[in-house]
Amino acid sequence: MYDQAQRLRQLVVSEQSQSQQSQQSTTSTTRVMTITSGKGGVGKSNFSLNYALGLAAKGKKVVVLDADVGFANIDVLLGKHPRKTLADLIQKKVSIWEILEVGPYGIQYIAGGSGLQQLIHLQTEQLNHLIGQLSELQGYADYLIIDTGAGLNEGTLRFILSSDDVIVVSTPEPTAITDAYALIKLVTRHERRSNIQLVINRASTITEGKQTAEKIALVTQKFLETDLQILGYVLDDPSVSRAVKEQVPFLIRYPESPAARCIEQLVKKQIKETTAVTGNETGIRSFLSRFIRVFRE
């Protein structure tokens, strides 16, 4: 295991120096965001997709990676059947450009398929291929948004610990709050320096959303000595479920709905707060080298 990790690190380092040579004039960095939750079913996939669309509507280039094992969430929400998935990339060694599917507003997405189930037990050459291919996205996209599945498995934890930003989604329900806190605790224990951002979904009112977020932030500050960034709230809105049934994202189908308006607010905030981010510690290559490090731990 150690030898494999070491070889992969060398691979990333050599790719980094090659990339620095070839991209000296390029300063663009792809921000890697993992969307996760403690409790399942709180609205991660709907958030990931509509958030991605909101960023794309503001002119950002966004790639969504559906990292939900076994369930093709993003495809279903879009009413599409992907031709190729991440499993094809890993197993058949096709290129990342062959599995990128085009969605509305020019977003691109990678369907997970069952590929990620094997992510933990990949052979070195498969992992090399995956890493090499994902690193092709560096500078190509402004955001890589990773939607994770319900329940915390090793693969999901690896994505969380490697990302620049971790967006934790919770609802105001006590069970969701407790599970969100447990997840945040786990992340902070691993001493990663990713930004943890909080989104409260399905809030009955803005006040309820705000109070829920503040409650979580307060406990996290007090017991984990970690500052959470409160990204914002999405209201509980029947348009979301309606849009899911129609297989059209609510931001497109119901742009005037309360939930769509909330997403727009969050997008505005995200763009405002991340435009200033630069440096070597962000982006896909840093994400991948952390991904390998976590792999060793």
Ligand X SMILES: Nc1ncnc2c1ncn2[C@@H]1O[C@H](COP(=O)(O)OP(=O)(O)OP(=O)(O)O)[C@@H](O)[C@H]1O
Interactions with ligand X, residue window 164-223 (CB under 6 A): 201-202
Q: Please identify, using beta-carbon distances, which residue of 8 and 150 lies nearer to ligand X.
A: 150
Does 65 sit near ligand X (CB under 6 A)?
A: no
Could you say whether residue 110 binds ligand X (CB under 6 A)? no
The pair of structure tokens assigned to 120 is 């933990």
Measured CA to CA, the distance from residue 217 to residue 198 in angstroms comes to 8
Cβ(158)–Cβ(294) below 8 Å: yes
Shortest reach from residue 92's CB to Mg ion, in Å: 26
**In the window 115-174, what residues touch ligand X (CB under 6 A)?**
149-150
Within 8 A by CB and 6+ apart from 232, the residues are 199, 200, 209, 213, 262, 265, 266, 269
From candidates 30, 34, 36, 46, binder to ligand X by CB under 6 A = 46
CB atoms within 10 A of CB 225: 8
Residue 106 partner contact from ligand X, Mg ion, none using kind-dependent CB cut-offs of 5 to 8 Å: none
The contact pattern for ligand X, residues 221-240, with x = CB under 6 A and - = no contact, is -------------x-xx--x
Q: How far apart are CA 45 and CA 57, in angstroms?
A: 18
Q: Does 40 bind ligand X (CB under 6 A)?
A: yes
Nearest Cα neighbor of 26 from 272, 274, 284 is: 284
Nearer to Mg ion, 45 or 163 (CB): 45
**Token code pair at residue 111:** 């369907």
Figure out which of the listed residues 19, 29, 30, 45 binds ligand X, where binding follows CB under 6 A.
45
- In whole angstroms, what is the distance from residue 95 CA to residue 13 CA? 21
> Rounded to an integer, what distance in angstroms lies between the CA atom of residue 141 and that of residue 127?
21
Residue 73 binds Mg ion, judged by CB under 5 A:
yes
Q: Which is nearer to ligand X, 82 or 112 (CB)?
A: 112
The residues binding ligand X (CB under 6 A) are 37, 40-46, 68, 73, 149-150, 201-202, 234, 236-237, 240-241, 244, 259
